[in-house]
Amino acid sequence: MEFEIKSCYNDGILQDAMRRYNIAPDQITLLDGFESYIYEFTRNSGDYILRIGHSRRRTPELIRGEVEWINHLAGGGAGVARAIRSKTGQLVEAIDDKHGGKFLATAFVKAPGRPVWEVGWTPMLYETYGQLVGRIHALSKVYTPSDPAIRRHAWNHPQNLDALNWLPAGETVPIERFHQVTNHLEELPRDVGSYGLIHQDAHSGNFFVDDDGQITLFDFDDCVYAWYVYDIAMVVFYMVVNHPDPDGLIQAFWPRFWAGYCAENTLDPGWLAEIPWFLKLREIDLYALHFRSFEDVHDIDAPWSRQYMDGRKARIEGDVPLVAFDFMV
């Protein structure tokens, strides 16, 4: 989280948000949050999530676009954590930070169930995962924002894709590879059947699985307009990255995931040939973000990040595929 946001936040902001959502002082708990302050609260025997972000990251209009789309998906039967309204009927509550900006509070129904690493992956869960992503894309095809002002950004907006802001000038080959990938993607067609609003971060850390094996997806903060296959590629990326046997895992995962996806949405299979391009885009983008997050990328304490960065520069410079797999099969 940016220092400027942390320096403006205080208990008064939280108390104001609690009043607006009618949250009792003894019914709220702070959770981990990376870009926002995240809390769990209970009200009328229901469990909810309160998110307090800042206008430096997302404008009120962008957040309204996010929660409107979420509730469109929920209304269409997709397994997503629906946004709820405040006491005054608002989906987004703006709270003055006294420094020229605003904290933006939103609340959601808490997803039922547990993280997938507590439940355990199964072939059926792979398929359910595909069904959820497919249902979201099918519903995106028939979604239009109620107001053009709340339309979310496109995939390549500087606020979404900012790798070049963080890659040092000496990273000449990764910068060149980044331009090669984005230039290719810019040429792809954008029709209603292939391009629309996507989650962009639908990895297993952003959903829970209930006792019936149903998935509920949350954290739509990064949703953007992009190709549906980009969403699919992001799922693949986080399934295999840092896995000890990515080739074996993708062979087990992909057929069931794709079968589930096709049960809910129609996507021209020709788009699957673009998955390696989107995998490379995310690989470079995440590589760049480590330069933002750590003072020294050669001395990282966080185990996952340390493993990710180990040899990553050479893989990018050598244009080594993230996973050796033909998604067209």
- 217-244: pLDDT as tens digits: 999 999 999 999 999 999 999 999 999 9
218 neighbors 111 (Cβ within 8 angstroms): yes
Asked if the model's pLDDT at residue 95 lies above 60, the reply is: yes
Q: What is the pLDDT of residue 8?
A: 87
Asked if the model's pLDDT at residue 156 lies above 60, the reply is: yes
Arch. (CATH architecture) of 3-109: 2-Layer Sandwich (3.30)
Q: Classify 56 as helix, strand or coil.
A: coil
CATH 3.30.200.20 domain range(s) in the chain: 3-109
Task: Spell out the SS3 assignment of 153-201.
Answer: CECCCCCCCCHHHHCCCCCHHHHHHHHHHHHHHHCCCCCCCCEEEECCC
**Cα angle, residue 62 at apex, residues 57 and 65 outer, rounded to 5°:** 150
pTM assigned to the model: 0.94
Q: What is the pLDDT of residue 1?
A: 56
Which residues 6+ apart lie within 8 Å of 58 measured at CB?
66, 104, 221
Q: What is the pLDDT of residue 159?
A: 87
Confidence of residue 292 (pLDDT cuts 50, 70, 90): confident
Asked if the model's pLDDT at residue 7 lies above 90, the reply is: no
Asked if the model's pLDDT at residue 35 lies above 90, the reply is: no
The CATH number that domain 114-317 falls under is 3.90.1200.10
How far is residue 231's CA from residue 272's CA, in Å, rounded to a whole number?
A: 11
Which amino acid does the sequence have at 294? F
Radius of gyration of the chain (CA): 20
Per-chain mean pLDDT for the chain: 94
Q: Encoding tokens for residue 303?
A: 């185990």
Asked if the model's pLDDT at residue 3 lies above 80, the reply is: no
103 neighbors 54 (Cβ within 8 angstroms): yes
Return the higher-pLDDT residue of 106 and 4.
106
CATH 3.90.1200.10 domain range(s) in the chain: 114-317
Asked if the model's pLDDT at residue 312 lies above 70, the reply is: yes
